[in-house]
Each structure stands twice: as C-alpha cells, then as structure tokens.
Amino acid sequence: MSGKSGKGRASDSNHATVASDEIRPLRLGMVGGGRDAFIGAVHRIAARMDNKFQLVAGALSSTPEKALASAADLGLAEARAYSDFRQMAEREARLKDGIEVVAIVTPNHMHAPIAEEFLRRNIHVICDKPLTATLLEAKSLAKAAERSDALFVLTHNYTGYPMVREARELISKGDLGDIRVVQVEYAQDWLSEPLENTGLKQAEWRTDPARSGVGGATGDIGTHAYNLVSFISGLKLKSLCADLDSFVDGRKVDDNGHVLLRFEGGAKGMLWCSQVAPGNENALSIRIYGSKGGIEWHQEAPNYLWHTPLGEPKRLITRNGAGAGNAAARMSRIPPGHPEGYLEGFANIYGEAAAAIRAKIAGRDPDPDVLYPTIQDGVAGVVFVDACVRSSKCQGAWVNV
C-alpha cells in the first residue's frame, strides 16, 4: 500500500501551477547519477519539471575527478561537489542552506548505507527502486526510516501515471467488484545477448549479484510489475511459486521469470518478467478481473485504460477525456490527446514527494490525495524477490510471503 501524506493541489490539479505555499523549490542533493549514468538524468529532469526542487549539491561519483567534472556539467558550485556521500551528509546537515532532500540513484547495493546516513540527519530521502540488494538490508533500512523524522519516498514511477491512478480509483470504488484474477507482465529484450561482457555500464551492474542483488530481471523489472499490482488492486500477497531462468550463458542472475501468485481473500495472479524477449522494448501491461468487470492498461499506450463492466461493451477511458476522474486529472499536465509517460510519471512522484515534504515542514495534516511509494512498498518488493529466488531454487515450490 503506497503512502499518503501532504497537502493536495488546487482543484484543477495542473502541475504547472505552483501552489501558494510552495514559494521556493526544495533544496535537493543527489548521490550517484554522474557522467554516463542513465537514471540520474531521469531523476534530475523529473525533479525540475514542476519547479518543486533545485539541485544544489551532489556526490555524483565516488571518483573525485569524475565527481567534480559531473558537478561542473550540472552547474553545481565546487564547494557543494563531493566524492564521498558521508562527507556530503555531514556537511550539508550543518549548512544553513543545506539540502532538505537527497535523491539516491546508485546501484542497488549502495541504497541502504547512503539512505541511512541522510535519514539519521533527518534529511528526506527519494530513492530509486528496488529498495536494497538484500532483504536484511531492507529490514534494517526500514528501522532507520522509522527512527528518523524524515520522509522516505521510493520512485516506482509507474504509480505516477494518470491512468494507473484512474485504475486504482475504479477498483477502490468497487466498480470491478471482488477481485478474482490478476495478470501482469513486463517484457524487454535488451539483455537477450551478454551485453555485460561488452563493458556496457547499465548491463554490467544489473547482472552482478553483488551490486544488483540476487534477483536480475525479477529485481529490476519484476518489482515494478509486482508493485503495480499492489498499488492498483490493493491486494496483499499471501504466497507464490516461481520459475526463474538465466537463459544467456554465463549470466549470474535471472533474466526471465514466471511467477504464480496467491493473494489474501482468494484472488489469483500470474506475473511474467523477462529481459530476453525479442520484440519487446518496455512492454509493461496489467489486466485485472473482478466479479463486476475488468480493466486493462499498457505502459506503451499510457493514455488509454480499458474498462469492461460485466455484460457490457468494452469502454475506453482516456487521460483527461470522457470517463476519467480527478485521480487521473491531478496527475496530468497537458491537453487531452498529447502523450504523457515515463518522464512525467517520474515527475509526478517527485511532485507528490514535494507536497508531502512541504506538509511535514509546515506541520500540516496529511491530505489523502497525495500518494507515493513508501519504504514499506520497498520492503515488500525485496520480500517478493527473495521469495521468488527461494521458490525457484526449490523447483518452483510454493512459499509463504
């Protein structure tokens, strides 16, 4: 279940409109995301899209020369460019105009130690997924977050898509009745060959269990699929059985997974994640069926949500179009018919984080409209990966979650 906190936006919910209590951008720092890093640039675009954050400091690389050069690329002052995240946390916490929020965009194995450094100084954390490389780290980090007065936001960016919010709203209103069947898949093809052996940075660390964790495709994209199921349906996983494979010779982590899911209350599900499926670029899709109808959404056509009430014709709901409600509208920026997607989804999570942090700073009561993935969602994702690996090692035996 994703967290709720902060004050909602004006009724028109256009993210381009700055609310009266948001006079200045929040001071943002970043760990990781230097030259040649993909996800760091995505986070920076998302953070500045709605003028909610201003990047003022960073430990963008552990290599001093690269850290300084990367900071210069982004126009950061040399005094705010660090090569050690501990030094950054200590100094920024002392500065009068030090960072209020830190974005963590490193490989998975570094998430926990970095986050703990900032959390214990009550600096809010926005962390890329999955939460950590191991379940032990995830549990330890959850305790650190509980002790801190800072908020922890996990960037499962697909929860920020307007039609994903609309799907969640339909289910929460009971339009689908009792949920019976869930089917989710996330297929890519970019690791169909051993790119990790070519020196490609993104492939190299994602296929190294010391840095990515024991789950390969399961941890990288399977956690997105699982999180999407939880976010939209509200279902809680009870048990699973998994069949994981490493089809590329020599690969140390899985690159394909088939998972059967059993949820509390009796619903059943199937999850497929693969990074060796030629012809698939970023094919994240979900279908949910209940006693009163079904819904279907595809990330590569994100503005469209199909809703089929039982016994009635299939209906197309579009972002800001006929049938869409406030849940989708408050995540939308531009007129109907114009595509919004990956970057905007990330920016929506940053926008929700800003609203929650503003409320925390002001001591205001949380508004239930503001939603973002929390550290509990992150722990659930690591629990899911751990259970999949355990099940697969036992020839697909059912394991409790």
State the number of CA atoms in the 13 A half-sphere of 246 facing the CB.
Answer: 15
**Which residue is listed with tokens 């960016």?**
157
| pLDDT above 60: residue 12 | no
307 and 370 housed in the same domain: no
Average pLDDT of the segment spanning 164-171 = 98
Same domain, 169 and 300: yes
CA distances for 179 relative to 163, 227, 293, 295, angstroms: 19, 17, 9, 11
CATH number, domain of 83, equals: 3.40.50.720
Query: Does residue 66 form part of some domain?
Result: yes
Do both 176 and 249 map to the same domain?
A: yes
116, 202: one domain: no
Same domain, 210 and 274: yes
Length, in residues, of the chain: 401
What pLDDT score was predicted for residue 294? 98
Q: Do residue 179 and residue 92 come from a single domain?
A: no
Does one domain contain both 154 and 170?
Answer: no
**72 in any annotated domain:** yes
Separation of alpha carbons 56 and 386, rounded Å: 37
Task: Note whether residue 385 is domain-resident.
Answer: yes
What's the confidence (pLDDT) of residue 3? Answer: 59
**Domain count of the fold of the chain:** 2
Same domain for 164 and 154, yes or no, is no
Whether 315 is covered by a domain: the verdict is yes
- Averaged pLDDT of the chain: 93
Would you say 212 and 134 are in contact if contact means Cβ atoms under 8 Å apart? Answer: no
Q: How much of the chain, in percent, has pLDDT values that exceed 70?
A: 95
Q: At what angle do helices 342-362 and 38-49 cross, to 10 degrees?
A: 60
CATH of the domain at 392: 3.30.360.10
Asked if residue 359 is part of any domain, the answer here is yes
Q: At which residue do the structure tokens 């050690």 appear?
A: 84
Same-domain check for residues 131 and 172 = no
192 domain-assigned: yes
Let me know whether 293 and 365 are in one domain. no
For residues 155 and 182, give the distance between their C-alpha atoms in angstroms, rounded to a whole number: 23
pLDDT tens figures, 117-162: 999 999 999 999 999 999 999 999 999 999 999 999 999 999 999 9
* CA dihedral over 363, 368, 370, 371, signed as positive or negative: positive
Q: Which residues contact 161 (CB under 8 A, 6 or more apart)?
A: 299, 302, 331, 340, 341, 344, 345, 348
In the predicted structure, residue 20 carries a pLDDT above the cut 50: no
Concatenated DSSP letters of 196-248: GGGT-HHHHHHT-HHHH-S-SHIIIIIHHHHHHHHHHH---EEEEEEEEE--S
**Residue 101 within a domain:** yes
Residue 57 included in any domain: yes
Same domain, 194 and 88: no
Between CA 184 and CA 248, with CA 283 as vertex, the angle to 5 degrees is 95
Gap between the Cα atoms of 231 and 229, Å rounded: 6
The range of the structural domain enclosing residue 285 comes to: 160-336+379-400
Kindly state whether residues 198 and 330 are assigned to the same domain: yes
